[in-house]
């Protein structure tokens, strides 16, 4: 089943479809589209596919013809979005996506510019200044050897030795 609704507004017209765009419903949608497109529209024309759950090959061809006449296809969901991308494929991305990409690049460059030059990648590990190395060496504490043994899971001899050491 397919439901078609036409909404006329001052900004433009919307040709909304809900249901399955298959078989005999494609013929009905094509008749409704022919009638709709024969009337001059005041603004842009949008084909709303948000309520469409399935589209077969003839339905896809109809949507491609609608797009070729200048109608903008909109939809939601992975199947509908992929179909719209396939039909509209070569068009430039929406302005909002371009702006987000440009801002991401700008902030990445800003972050890279704020890093000190000596800390940038040199193809080696991290190096410390002499003061930092001395400070690290001062914090190293020697641990004296112990007469207690440490048990390893599954090592019964270590457990016995540890118990002997604790019973002193």
Q: How confident is the model at residue 114 (pLDDT cuts 50, 70, 90)?
A: confident
Helix (H/G/I), strand (E/B), else coil: 153: coil
Helix (H/G/I), strand (E/B), else coil: 96: helix
What residue ranges do the domains of the chain occupy? 2-88
Task: Give the pLDDT confidence score for residue 109 in this predicted structure.
Answer: 75
Cβ pair 7, 46 in contact under 8 A: no
Cβ pair 18, 51 in contact under 8 A: yes
Q: Which residues pair with 12 in a beta bridge?
A: 44
More confident residue, 130 or 64: 64
Give, for 129, the enclosing helix (H) or strand (E): none
CB neighbours of residue 159 within 10 Å: 14
**Residue 103 to residue 92: CA distance in whole angstroms:** 18
For 2-88, CATH number?
3.30.750.24
- Mean pLDDT of all residues belonging to the chain: 76
Q: Is the model's pTM score more than 0.95? A: no
Task: Give the pLDDT confidence score for residue 167 in this predicted structure.
Answer: 46
Q: How confident is the model at residue 42 (pLDDT cuts 50, 70, 90)?
A: confident
CB neighbours of residue 63 within 10 Å: 28
DSSP-assigned letter for residue 23 = H
| Mean pLDDT score, 75-91 | 85
Residue 18, class by beta-carbon neighbours within 10 Å (0-12 exposed, 13-18 middle, 19+ buried)? middle
Cβ pair 48, 17 in contact under 8 A: yes
- The two three-digit tokens of residue 123, written as one number: 């193809």
């Amino acid at each position: 089943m397919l439901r078609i609704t036409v909404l006329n507004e001052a900004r433009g017209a919307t040709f909304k479809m809900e249901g399955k765009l298959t078989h005999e419903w494609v013929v009905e949608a094509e008749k409704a589209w022919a009638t709709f497109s024969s009337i001059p529209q005041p603004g842009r024309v949008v084909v709303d596919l948000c309520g469409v759950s399935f589209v077969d090959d003839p339905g896809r061809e109809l949507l491609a013809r609608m797009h070729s006449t200048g109608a903008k296809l909109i939809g939601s969901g992975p199947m509908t979005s992929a179909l719209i991308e396939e039909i509209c494929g070569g068009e430039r991305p929406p302005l909002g996506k371009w702006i987000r990409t440009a801002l991401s690049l700008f902030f990445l460059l800003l972050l890279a510019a704020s890093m000190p030059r000596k800390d940038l990648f040199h193809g080696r590990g991290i190096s410390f200044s002499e003061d930092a190395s001395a400070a690290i060496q001062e914090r190293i504490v020697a641990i004296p050897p112990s007469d207690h043994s440490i048990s390893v899971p599954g090592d019964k001899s270590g457990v016995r030795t540890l118990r002997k050491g604790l019973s002193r």
